[in-house]
Amino acid sequence: MIRGHVAERSGPRIPGLDRSVPVWVAAALTLVVLMALPLGWIGWVSVSSEDGPTLAHYATVFRDPQLQKALWNTVVMAFWVGLASVAIGAPLAWLTARTDLPGKTLIRGLIMASFVTPPFLGAFAWVMLAGPNAGLLNRLYRDLSGADGALVNIFTMPGLIFVVAIYTFPYVYIMVANTLALIASDLEEAAAILGAGRLRVAATVTLPMVAPAILSGFILAVLQALALFGSPAILALPAGFHTITTQIWSFFHYPPKVEMAAAFSIPLLLATALLLQVQKRLLGRRGYASIGGKGGRRRAIPLGFWRYPALGGCLALLACAIFLPYGVLAKAALSRAWAQPLTWDNLTLANFTFTFFEYSATQSAVLNTLELGVMTATVGAGLAALLAYVTNRRLIVGHQILAFLALAPIVIPGVVLAVGLFIAYTRPPLLLYGTLWILFVAYVTKEMPVGYSQADATFKGVHPELEEAGRILGAGRLRVLGEITAPLARSGIIATWCFIFIGVIRELSASIILFTPATKVISVVIFDLKEEGQFGPIAVLGLFMLAMTFATVVLMQRVLGRDFMGAKE
Amino acid sequence: MAQRWRLAMTVLGVLAFLSGAAPAPAQDVRLEAAKKEGKVVWYTSLVLPSAEKVAKLFEAAYPAIKVEVHRTGSQRILQKLMQELQANIKNADVVHTSDAGHFVLLKEKKLLMHYTPAGVDKFPASFKDRDGYYYGLRATVNVIAYNTKIVSAAEAPKSWKELLDAKWKGKLVTAHPGYSGVIATHVLALANHYGWDYFKQLAQNRAMIVQSAADPSAVVASGERPVAVNGGDYSAYQLKKKGSPIEIVYPKDGVPLVVSPTAITVFAPHPNAAKLFTDFTFTKDVQQVMADSEGLYTGHPEVKYPADKPKLGELKLLQVDPEELEKRNEEIKKRFVEFFGA
């Protein structure tokens, strides 16, 4: 989904001024403001006090043993999530891209479902599945084995890592699968002819070629884990430990310690920036001649006896990510008491009526979410398309800076962005806190890297020759854009829209700090309900959110004519 | 139960009819103004289904006025309220939390309207602010709850001290004073009674940590943990009434009493609707509904409690001073996190 931005030298630079320049300038300024304002405020507040500049907040943050623990927990969690994601994602990618595994379409569909599942919903479902005592899997285990203890306890660090990893591995999967799809089979076949077994070929020939993709996927997974708020809030807090994001959130409890939140945001910001830099290096150095060669053939490697065991393994894994969690959510949505068996007595639609018709916060949250989703997706896709067009056609001096700015928000975790926006927009001249606008600004900023990468790929596929032809025939740039480029880029832009929309409707980590009671969104309502242990309504809203997401995915697939994770069959 | 409920609805319907048909002149002015305002925004920590029930009763009595319920934990209500004010947002009309300390703070900051709801003059002193800014809308006591399928009545802990026994290791659930005013009050009451050492020892038993004071009972009812070491008795009572396998223990060494105040904000965007709503929540009928179906205690002297609940007078109540609660709020949260980890 997020591509390393490797600038290609294609298309001539068209010099000179024309009427479109103010448009590009405005777009650039917008980006600068989106980024600079929150980050600038975080930096400033983290070093300011009533008596002038100070490093006291940093000193407090790094001396407090509670906060040190939170830092360490975050490192441990993110590292293991990265490893687990590789352990799941890479083999799955190999199986679906290079072998004759049966049911590949199904497997890819399920991986996509896990990709779009909001991790906090997954965490929530796993509370019902693997709570040590009431969790359904543990109860089943006790019933079957007669044992006293629990098979798994989800309220632990390993539990948290597991739940995060089953929704994060698709990042590794996509990276590796897309790379594998580009590698010709020649080398593998040569090795096979020389007598190497299938596993040996995979380990000694294929693996080194995809190693950069694996590492880069590992880093993406680590970044995802670092930035998560919902899953740790649901699983780590009951277990009695914090991560950086939950700790930053708790700094906002009354009386708020915004300067501490700002100071504690900086390590997270730096870690993210550093990791992305490493990832960029990795992708930039990818110089294997065998990758990207168009001439090579790709042959499916026969799994032989292992075909069905491998399929079984894949399905078991995806059961953890999809079937079991969705099943338990559906059950909770229909039950009076989620932990009791689903008998006629326990069956009810009351959760649905309560959620949608009796709880007055729901309807406005649904409307807010839809409104924000449509607004952000429309403005965000428009802005992303504009920027991608400018950078691809190199229309202005400094277009590289624009590309950098558009991708830069990826270094800002949602919670950190929210801290910055909170500080920036709770004071004049722009009092946006308390309105939907502050959420809108947060979402546009947060989704810009995703939107830009998508739009960038789209414009790379639209050749400049056609535009030049139009220009030669006398059309202005805006007219060329409207009549030639736009129609060609249409489906790519719609996909960008859908990506952003999906990102917005599930957003929690920025919303949880920026909402006010009048501007709640669905994810925040779910979080409120969680505080009270209202499993039924949470399940109803969760399923509703999933349904909206899948409707968008289906729309996108219709438009693109393929599934949106990128690799072709 | 259902019959009582229907009775309450009928009474309310009649009241609504009367207030429409033969209103007192003074009230008429206020009602007209409230109708123009169209809604009242209620920040409340009352457990969600109960809050929605009260809101629906009001909307039935005053069909032209909607109640916007924003339910979350006491501490988060204060947090949002103060954050909103910092950004000059005036959204809340009526604020109701279970942390009496909040109201001391809000009063000091001159954020509360001086308003005495109709009928509260008969309420006991512990339900009233002596300066007339806030009044106790309801009360609950903090109790121990246990799952009857897992723990027998004989084994069940009878006192706060018994929870320290190592046999409960890994079997307890607690709510968090950083979210819940009920729990903040509870922690202060027990810390005053037994010292902080009590919580230090309790933390050795590795309790599962949840947020709202309503959640420990839900966790116990689901069987996730057999024993809740705190939580308002009303949520456990409601679950028990619905047939969940849960039983309540009123510890003999004393039960912390939590009186949850309500007040109108000084900046209320819908002041007339807010007054109407506040008066309404203090009427005998609504207070009776809270006692009946919701299992709460109230300050209303004429309210009759369900026969299966102890009377407040039968319990040894541990009370805390709202001003002390306000002053020590930070300390309570800090200590809890220090002992329990999050």
CB of B212 less than 8 A from some CB of A: yes
Provide the number of CB pairs (under 8 Å) joining chain A to chain B. 134
Percentage of residues in chain A with pLDDT exceeding 70? Answer: 92
**Residue in this structure with the two tokens 């607690």, named with its chain if needed:** B174
Q: What is the pLDDT of residues A279-288, one digit of tens each?
A: 888 776 544 4
Q: Percentage of residues in chain B with pLDDT exceeding 90? A: 87
Give the pLDDT confidence of B163-182 residue by residue, as tens digits.
Answer: 999 999 999 999 999 999 99
Helix or strand or coil: residue A208?
A: helix
B108-167 pLDDT, tens digit each: 999 999 999 999 999 999 999 999 999 999 999 999 999 999 999 999 999 999 999 999
Residue A308's pLDDT band (boundaries 50, 70, 90)?
A: very high
Q: Is B58 on the interface with A (CB under 8 A)?
A: no
pLDDT band at A190 (very low <50, low <70, confident <90, very high): confident
Distance between CA atoms of residues B177 and B193, nearest Å: 17
| A518·B91 Cβ contact <8 A | yes
Q: Give the per-residue pLDDT at A179.
A: 87
Q: Which of B208, B223, B337 sits opposite A238 (nearest CB)?
A: B208
pLDDT of residue B275: 97
pLDDT value of position A564? 63
pLDDT of res. A304: 86
**Nearest C-alpha of chain A: how many angstroms from B262?**
18
**Chain B environment of A255 (Cβ under 8 Å):** 82, 330
Residue A9 has pLDDT above 50, yes or no: no
Do residue B48 and residue A250 have CB atoms under 8 angstroms apart?
Answer: no
B68 touches chain A (CB under 8 A): yes
- This prediction's pTM: 0.89
pLDDT band at A406 (very low <50, low <70, confident <90, very high): confident
Question: What percent of chain B has a predicted confidence (pLDDT) above 70?
Answer: 92
Q: Are B318 and B190 in contact (CB under 8 A)?
A: yes
Instruction: Sort strands B255-264 and B317-318 into parallel, antiparallel or unpaired.
Output: parallel
- List CB contacts (< 8 A) between B218 and chain A: 532-533, 535
How confident is the model over B187-235, as pLDDT tens digits? 999 999 999 999 999 999 999 999 999 999 999 999 999 999 999 999 9
Cβ within 8 Å, pair B72-A434: no
Q: Is the pLDDT of residue A329 over 90?
A: yes
- CA proximity to A226, closest of A238, A244, A211: A244
Residue B296 has pLDDT above 60, yes or no: yes
Q: Do A426 and B80 touch (CB under 8 A)?
A: no
* Gap between the Cα atoms of A501 and A503, Å rounded: 5
Q: How confident is the model at residue A297 (pLDDT cuts 50, 70, 90)?
A: low
A2: which DSSP letter? P
Q: In this complex, is the C-beta atom of B6 within 8 Å of any C-beta atom belonging to chain A?
A: no
Q: Is B44 on the interface with A (CB under 8 A)?
A: no
Tokens for B325, please give them. 């609660």
SS (H, E, C) chain B: CHHHHHHHHHHHHHHHHHHHHCCCHHHHHHHHHHHHHCEEEEEECCCHHHHHHHHHHHHHHCCCCEEEEEECCHHHHHHHHHHHHHCCCCCCCEEECCCHHHHHHHHHCCCECCCCCCCHHHCCHHHECCCCCCEEEEEEEECEEEECCCCCCCCCCCCCHHHHCHHHCCCEEECCCCCCHHHHHHHHHHHHHHCCHHHHHHHHCCCEECCCCCHHHHHHHHCCCCEECCCEHHHHHHHHHCCCCEEEECCCCCEEEEEEEEEEECCCCCHHHHHHHHHHHCCHHHHHHHHHCCCCECCCCCCCCCCCCCCHHHCCEECCCHHHHHHHHHHHHHHHHHHHCC
Q: Which chain B residue is nearest to residue A424, measuring alpha carbons? A: B87
What is the pLDDT, as a whole number, of residue A563?
63
Is there a contact between B222 and A338 if contact means CB atoms under 8 Å apart?
yes
Q: What are the pLDDT digits (tens) for A196-229?
A: 887 788 888 888 888 989 999 999 999 999 999 9
A159, pLDDT greater than 70: yes
Distance from CA of A41 to the nearest CA of B (A): 16
- Rg of chain B taking only CA atoms, in angstroms: 20
Residues of A in contact with B208 (CB under 8 A): 155, 238-239
Mean pLDDT on A16-32 = 73
Highest mean pLDDT among A241-255, A291-305, B268-282: B268-282
Comparing CB atoms, the residue among B41, B52, B179 nearest residue A531 is B179
Q: What is the pLDDT of residue A521?
A: 97
> Is pLDDT of A176 > 60?
yes
- Looking at per-residue pLDDT, the higher value among B102 and A5 belongs to B102
